[in-house]
Structure 1
Amino acid sequence: MPALLSVSSFILAASLGTIAYLALLHRCLKNRIDHEKRYGTLPSSDATTITTIPSEVYTSEYYALHDRASRRVPRQLLPHQKDADILTLFLRRNMTAFANFPQAYMLWAISPVETRPTFHASHISSLDFNQGDLICGIYRVLERSADKVEFGMMHKGVEGRLVFRLWDEDKDVVFASETAMWTRTDETQRATMPLENPVLRFFHELAAWWLLDSGVKYLVDLDGETDSE
């Protein structure tokens, strides 16, 4: 019995320690990331930045959410390449990292066998994220430009977009990660969106913010390595 109590105490302490660490990490990232979220009817202004959302989603017939995180960095600290190349490097690194997250393992488990290779680092690192490319079983590139990639996603009655883009502000470059989801407001067709769950929303924010923050740091470090050669 004492041994069992010791094991139970260890598991409890480890669990509490993990929760405390994740909460601290979430708070630290929140201080470095600009973040905003909206629930309800999507404003028509979003159509200028996420162009693949169907026009009917901007009506009261749909309940939606839009989550945006952004981080800025001086242009001079980034690799001296075109924005299209910078965005490709950023996405290859971040989607490869995401493929090792618990969320990705859950997606892998429910994915058809033929799409499971899209989780492999070799697949992701070979992509330029052109229209039609599939990543991590669920994210399909719907639109690609020099400064933006829009992924489409659909799961259990919920459709959405995952968007990565960058733009110039003064002497800085702003990197943004956006998630939009929607479902019909009709009670017979209303699906619960994952980000309506507080626990899932917490882990989404933790993953999105960490990937955004560490992805920008990756690019800055990459430029430093290039300059030293």
Structure 2
Amino acid sequence: MPALLSVSAFLLAASLGTFTYLTLLHRCLKNRIDHEKCYGSLLSSDCTTITTIPPEVYTSEYYALHDRATRRVPRQLLPHQKDTDILTVFLRRNMTAFANFPQAYMLWAISPVEIRPTFQASHISSLNFDKGDLICGIYRVLERSADKVEFGMMHKEVEGRLVVRLWDEDKDVVFASETAMWTRMDEMHRATMPLENPVLRFFHELAAWWLLDSGVKYLVDLDGETDSE
């Protein structure tokens, strides 16, 4: 019995420690990331940069959410490359990192065998994120331009978009990660979107903010290494 109590106490302490760490990390990232979100009817003014959302989604027949996180960095700190190349490097690094997240392991577990190679680092690092490319089982590139990639994603009755883009603002470059999800309204019911769950939303924000913040730092460090060579 004493041994069992010791194990239980250890597991409780470890769980509380992990929860405290994640909460502090979330709070710290929130101070470095600009974040906005909205729920309800999707307004075209909120998603003017996402061009692959079907027009009917902007009507009262659909319930939607839109979540945007941004992180800015002085242009002079980034690699001296075209934006299209910077975005490719950024996405390769972030998608490879995401493939090792618990969320990705769950996606891998439910994916057909023929889809599982899309989680591998060798697959992700070979991509230019052209239209049609598939990453981590559910993220299909629907549109690619020099400064933006739009991914389509589907989860049961919920459809969505993940958009990663960058743009110039004064002497800075702003990196953005956007998520839009929607489901059809019904007189009787509607599907609950994953990000309506407080726990799932917390881990989504934690992952999205950390990837955005650490991805920008990765690019800055990459430029420093290039300059030193």
TM-score by length of 2: 0.99
Per the alignment, residue 14 of structure 2 pairs with 14
Per the alignment, residue 113 of structure 2 pairs with 113
Alpha-carbon deviation of 1:190?
1.4
Q: Which runs of 5+ in 1 are unaligned?
A: none
**Deviation per CA, 1:101-122, whole angstroms, max 9, x where unpaired?**
0000000011111100000000
SS at 2:224's partner residue? helix
Q: Where does 1:56-205 land on structure 2 (aligned, <5 Å)?
A: 56-188=56-188, 190-205=190-205
Identity %: 90
- Give the aligned residue type for 1:19: F
Alpha-carbon deviation of 1:46?
3.5
Alpha-carbon deviation of 1:214?
0.1
Alpha-carbon deviation of 1:195?
0.1
Within 2, Cα distance between the matches of 1:67 and 1:110?
A: 25
**Deviation per CA, 1:62-85, whole angstroms, max 9, x where unpaired?**
000000000000000000000000
Within 1, Cα distance between the matches of 2:4 and 2:187?
A: 48
**Deviation per CA, 1:30-72, whole angstroms, max 9, x where unpaired?**
0000000000011111442000000000000000000000000
Q: Where does 1:15-54 land on structure 2 (aligned, <5 Å)?
A: 15-54=15-54
Alpha-carbon deviation of 1:187?
4.1
Within 2, Cα distance between the matches of 1:82 and 1:125?
A: 18
Within 1, Cα distance between the matches of 2:112 and 2:3?
A: 43
Within 1, Cα distance between the matches of 2:73 and 2:190?
A: 40
Runs of 4+ deviating beyond 3 Å: none
RMSD over equivalenced CA pairs, Å: 0.8
Alpha-carbon deviation of 1:189?
6.0
Per the alignment, residue 210 of structure 1 pairs with 210
Alpha-carbon deviation of 1:185?
1.2
SS at 1:44's partner residue? coil
Within 1, Cα distance between the matches of 2:139 and 2:145?
A: 17
